[in-house]
């Protein structure tokens, strides 16, 4: 067999030189590609009409599963859309069109909705499924560039993207078209989710792992409680509170001062203590907490989302937030050292030592 000439090789050899073009030209080309994708998405917004609402109604009222089907790059987009639908409260799965005709079509049932993806609307594997799906009496929603295509004319609802020029100097590889298909599919999934009344709490149940899952948990699930807390009557002196409330392990960096009924009246933090010592005010250590504590500190409910605690810590530049029950009695405390990874981006851009005590009066180090 005669070997292919070097210039027809599909892959450059390891010793091939770098692609031509200056860095400026490469950056300009990348910017044009991104602008092209963004422009295509914006153009599709002008094509949205009552058909989009019809598609939303079909998916929102689906009593079975939304089955997403696509071939090639559209299939990869379809897998992502199936995952998005599933994670936002719409039961969904992906069906490979080539596998469908070899038995996987059995996963379709009456009550399902088939979401078909094909830029041209003429993908052979997709079009081959249409008569079989029609016999099963399963509703079809298509995302395609042409409503007059085979897929478009045979579907119950068509979401048309219009003609799209692919990115790159060849303009051949599915790029801009798949970006548009993904964006339109995401819009469909999220609008359907809202119509279904999908709540933040349900979202949290479906995303229990990682930073996202932790951010969606309740304060109750991460707060320090029990023997980790330092609670003292507000008449107790600072010195006495520090001696009697020593804690080992993960202790809180604040003493919560309470009245005779156990209701929170103020907060005295490790940062407050450091400030007293730096100012050589040792004599204040024998004063009652009520005279030096921060009155009416920011507080949280145990059922508040953890994201609310992070926003509160960042917005008021504080290190600890007491958690109260319905009678204003302290039952927990959220310490900033436990949620550092979840803090808002703008907070993380500041120096770690810029968090101030509960009063927000002056900078102080973190509580331990």
| 7-44 per-position pLDDT tens digit | 555 555 555 555 567 888 889 999 999 999 999 999 99
More confident site: 247 or 334: 334
How do beta strands 330-335 and 320-324 pair? antiparallel
Task: DSSP letter for 121, please.
Answer: S
Domain ranges of the chain: 29-198, 219-354
The fold adopted by the segment(s) 219-354 is CBS-domain (3.10.580)
How is residue 155 written in tokens?
């579907």
Which pTM value belongs to this model?
0.67
Torsion of CA 142, 145, 151, 156, to 10 degrees: 40
Tokens of 246: 């020593």
pLDDT at site 285: 86
Tokens of 357: 């005590």
CA-wise closest residue to 321 among 338, 329, 311, 309:
309
Please determine whether the domains at 29-198 and 219-354 fall in the same fold group of CATH: no
As a whole number of Å, the end-to-end CA separation of the chain is 73
Distance separating alpha carbons of residues 172 and 284, to the nearest angstrom: 76
Over the chain, what is the mean pLDDT? 85
Q: What is the pLDDT of residues 287-343, one digit of tens each?
A: 899 888 989 899 999 988 888 888 898 888 888 999 999 999 999 999 888 887 677
CATH architecture of 29-198: 3-Layer(aba) Sandwich (3.40)
Longest dimension (CA), the chain: 96
Q: Does residue 91 carry a pLDDT above 90?
A: yes
The answer to whether the CB of 273 falls within 8 A of the CB of 230 is no
pLDDT class of 128 with cuts at 50, 70, 90: very high
């Amino acid at each position: 067999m005669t070997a292919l000439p070097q210039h027809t090789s599909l892959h450059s050899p390891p010793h091939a030189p770098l692609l031509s073009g200056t860095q400026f030209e490469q950056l300009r080309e990348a910017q044009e590609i991104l602008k092209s994708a963004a422009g295509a998405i914006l153009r599709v917004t002008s094509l949205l009409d009552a058909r989009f609402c019809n598609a939303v109604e079909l998916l929102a009222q689906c009593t079975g599963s939304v089955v997403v089907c696509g071939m090639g790059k559209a299939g990869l987009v379809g897998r992502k859309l199936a995952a998005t639908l599933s994670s936002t409260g719409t039961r969904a799965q992906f069906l490979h069109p080539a596998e469908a005709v070899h038995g996987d079509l059995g996963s379709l049932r009456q009550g399902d909705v088939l979401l078909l993806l094909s830029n041209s609307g003429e993908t052979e594997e997709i079009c081959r499924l249409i008569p079989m799906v029609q016999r099963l009496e399963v509703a079809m929603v298509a995302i395609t560039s042409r409503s007059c295509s085979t897929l478009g004319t045979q579907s119950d609802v068509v979401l048309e993207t219009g003609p799209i020029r692919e990115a790159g100097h060849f303009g051949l590889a599915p790029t801009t078209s798949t970006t548009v298909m993904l964006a339109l599919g995401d819009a469909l999934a999220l609008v359907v989710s809202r119509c279904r009344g999908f709540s933040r709490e349900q979202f949290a149940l479906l995303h229990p792992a990682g930073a996202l899952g932790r951010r969606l948990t309740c304060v109750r699930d991460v707060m320090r409680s029990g023997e980790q807390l330092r609670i003292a009557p507000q008449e107790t002196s600072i010195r006495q509170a520090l001696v009697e409330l020593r804690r080992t392990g993960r202790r809180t960096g604040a003493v919560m001062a309470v009245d005779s009924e156990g209701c929170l009246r103020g907060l005295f933090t490790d940062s407050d203590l450091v400030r007293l010592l730096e100012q050589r005010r040792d004599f204040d250590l024998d004063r009652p907490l009520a005279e030096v504590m921060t009155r009416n500190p920011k507080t949280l409910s145990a059922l508040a989302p953890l994201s609310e605690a992070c926003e509160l810590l960042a917005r008021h530049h504080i290190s600890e937030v007491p958690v109260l029950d319905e009678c204003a009695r302290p039952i927990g405390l959220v310490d900033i050292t436990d949620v550092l990874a979840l803090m808002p981006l703008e907070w993380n851009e500041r120096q770690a030592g810029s968090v101030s005590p509960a009063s927000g009066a002056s900078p102080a180090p973190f509580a331990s």
